[in-house]
């Protein structure tokens, strides 16, 4: 398995550990979840489905974003969404106006766009990819994959990288907790954690 595929698998596995409650989701009448309770088996199936969809989304998004990492130009954030069919991945566009704003503002714009699309029930998952430095004291470049799945999986994957002889070299990824906020609000109106 390549280091990149290990990164993507780590993304999904680490995200599964950050499972958030899905109490605000309504189950279709007559479904196994109609009683409002999840058995351990049902929970495992839900997490496995979300995990596989996040792996697919991450593979597509990261493979498209790699070209930007290699081109030598400043890296701007980019976002992708996984449609309701669980297979189709589309890149999100901010339009000409959005592309002119600074990178930090673009991240906020992507989050708002994803939240608007997610709340309409049009997507299963989304990811925002952006780069930065490990810290003010460390110039190591990192790729951040900020992701969320409607079934309650949410997280940030941070992985250091270097460009050597035109090829990307990945370090071990680190998973960080990310509030679950794109798809649902908690009962008290705050973003779900």
Cα-only R_g, the chain: 17
pLDDT band for 26, please (50, 70, 90 cuts).
Answer: low
Q: Which pLDDT value is given to residue 94?
A: 94
pLDDT tens digits, residue range 177-191? 988 899 987 555 444
Q: Which pLDDT value is given to residue 82?
A: 97
* Average pLDDT value for the chain: 82
What mean pLDDT is predicted for residues 145-151? 94
What SS3 class is residue 181? strand
CA angle 161, 111, 82 (to 5 degrees): 75
pTM over cut 0.85: no
Q: Which pLDDT value is given to residue 91?
A: 97
CA angle 6, 193, 60 (to 5 degrees): 30
pLDDT tens digits, residue range 31-81? 655 666 778 887 788 888 889 999 999 999 999 999 989 887 889 999 999
Measure CA 30 to chain center. 31
Helices marked H in the chain — which ranges? 3-16, 40-70, 95-99, 103-119
Q: Which segment of 43-47, 81-85, 155-159 scores lowest on mean pLDDT?
A: 43-47
How far apart are alpha carbons 71 and 57 in whole angstroms? 22
Q: Which pLDDT value is given to residue 30?
A: 61
Q: Which pLDDT value is given to residue 128?
A: 97
Q: Which pLDDT value is given to residue 73?
A: 80
**CB of 81 closer than 8 Å to CB of 117:** yes
The set of residues, in sequence order, having a beta carbon less than 8 Å from that of 74 and lying 6+ positions away, is 103
Q: Which pLDDT value is given to residue 46?
A: 80
């Amino acid at each position: 398995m390549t280091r990149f595929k290990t990164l993507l698998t780590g993304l999904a596995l680490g995200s599964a550990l950050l499972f958030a409650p899905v109490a605000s989701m309504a189950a279709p009448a007559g479904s196994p979840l109609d009683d409002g309770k999840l058995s351990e088996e049902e929970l495992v199936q839900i997490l496995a489905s979300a995990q596989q969809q996040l792996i697919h989304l991450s593979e597509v998004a990261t493979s498209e974003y790699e070209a930007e990492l290699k081109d030598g130009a400043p890296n701007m954030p980019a976002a992708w969404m996984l449609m309701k069919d669980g297979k189709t991945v589309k890149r999100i566009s901010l339009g000409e106006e959005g592309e002119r704003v600074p990178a930090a503002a673009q991240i906020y714009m992507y989050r708002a766009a994803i939240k608007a699309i997610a709340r309409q029930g049009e997507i299963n998952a989304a990811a925002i990819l952006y780069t930065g430095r490990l810290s003010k004291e460390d110039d190591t470049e990192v790729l951040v994959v900020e992701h969320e799945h409607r079934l309650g999986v949410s997280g940030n994957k941070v992985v250091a990288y270097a460009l050597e002889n035109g090829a990307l070299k990945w370090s071990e990824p680190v998973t960080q907790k990310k509030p679950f906020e794109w798809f649902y609000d908690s009962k008290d109106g705050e973003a779900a954690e």
